[in-house]
Amino acid sequence: MSEGEYTGKTVLITGAAGGIGTAMAKAYAGAGASLAFVDIADCTGICDDLPGSHSAWQLDISDPDAIEATVSEIGGRMGIDVLINNAGFGVVGAADTFSVEEWDRTLKINLRGPWLMSRAALPYLKASGSGRIVNIASQAGVIALLEHAAYGASKAGLINLTKVLAIEWAKYGITVNAVSPTVVETPMALVGWAGEKGEKARQEIPVGRFARPDEIASAAMYLSSAQAGIVTGENLVVDGGFTIR
């Protein structure tokens, strides 16, 4: 995106304190957007390192009442033109040993959370006249991966939710799309996929590497841009060809 592409637009990013969220913050701020950072952790420090005027809120997106209050406050103060549902929770394990608590938390954060965020943001996205929602899903929502029963189910549900909201809200000028990455080289992922495990995983990806956070940010920025106004209900798979083998 060119400098100034998002001037005058407010972008709400959940999971802003994480690797992908931080990359998105830098990209959107660099294109002129005003940002509303939302994370369960304190992310006020991100605001200080970016050009422009931005605000931060602490929010647990498994809490429906907190979502309603926080999004209403953001929308009333800044408006909302773009919602990036980036916050996620990932614990993997065999389907027969996964706990009910882990299953429920995964679905609450990865599927129910984006639905509640989108619903709460709807009045402000309508007012925008060209509202955009981008949901960060996963290749695990497209194909079956070992030990990803809960995570994969949550992301598959998020992809379908994306399509349903796209149909229902197109009449308001709102587009709803998803991005499904492979492993992304965030600080946490680089630790989790270090050594032989990571080398083997990279070999299974046709392009031979994991995705970079800035590549996911660029995908989101395209889908939320004016140029992508005809694109809705799509799931952009950013996985180096892993799922088409």
**Domain count across the chain:** 1
**What are the structure tokens assigned to 176, written together?**
């709803």
Q: How far apart are CA 2 and CA 25, in angstroms?
A: 15
Three-point CA angle 33, 62, 171, nearest 5°: 55
- Asked if residue 86 is part of any domain, the answer here is yes
Read off φ and ψ for residue 27, nearest 5 degrees.
Answer: -65, -50
Residue 117 lies in domain: 10-183+214-236
Packing angle between helix 113-128 and helix 149-169, nearest 10 degrees? 20
**What are the structure tokens assigned to 110, written together?**
């990865």
3-state class (DSSP) for residue 56: strand
Task: Return the CATH number at 114.
Answer: 3.40.50.720
- Asked if residue 171 is part of any domain, the answer here is yes
- Asked if residue 153 is part of any domain, the answer here is yes
* Catalytic position from the list 6, 28, 124, 151: 151
pLDDT at 182 (0 to 100): 96
Q: Is 124 a catalytic residue?
A: no
3-state class (DSSP) for residue 218: helix
pLDDT (tens, 9 = 90+) of the chain, 245 residues, equals 566 789 999 999 999 988 899 999 999 999 999 999 999 998 888 878 788 889 999 999 999 999 999 999 999 999 999 999 999 998 889 999 999 999 999 999 999 999 999 999 999 999 999 999 999 999 999 999 999 999 999 999 999 999 999 999 999 999 999 999 999 998 877 777 889 888 999 999 999 999 999 999 999 999 999 999 999 999 999 999 999 98
pLDDT at 48 (0 to 100): 80
Closest CA to 133 of 118, 113, 112, 155: 118
Find all residues with CB under 8 Å of 209, minimum gap 6, and list them: 202, 240
Concatenate the DSSP letters of all residues of 69-137 into one string: HHHHHHHHHH--SEEEE-------B-TTT--HHHHHHHHIIIIIHHHHHHHHHHHHHHHHSS-EEEEE-
Pairing of strands 132-136, 235-238: unpaired
- Asked if residue 197 is part of any domain, the answer here is no
- Asked if residue 178 is part of any domain, the answer here is yes
- Asked if residue 135 is part of any domain, the answer here is yes
- Asked if residue 196 is part of any domain, the answer here is no
Q: How far apart are CA 111 and CA 136, in angstroms?
A: 11
**What are the structure tokens assigned to 4, written together?**
């100034």
- Asked if residue 4 is part of any domain, the answer here is no
pLDDT at 1 (0 to 100): 58
Count of residues in the chain? 245
Per the DSSP assignment, residues forming a β-bridge with 181 are: 238
Closest CA to 74 of 58, 50, 52: 58
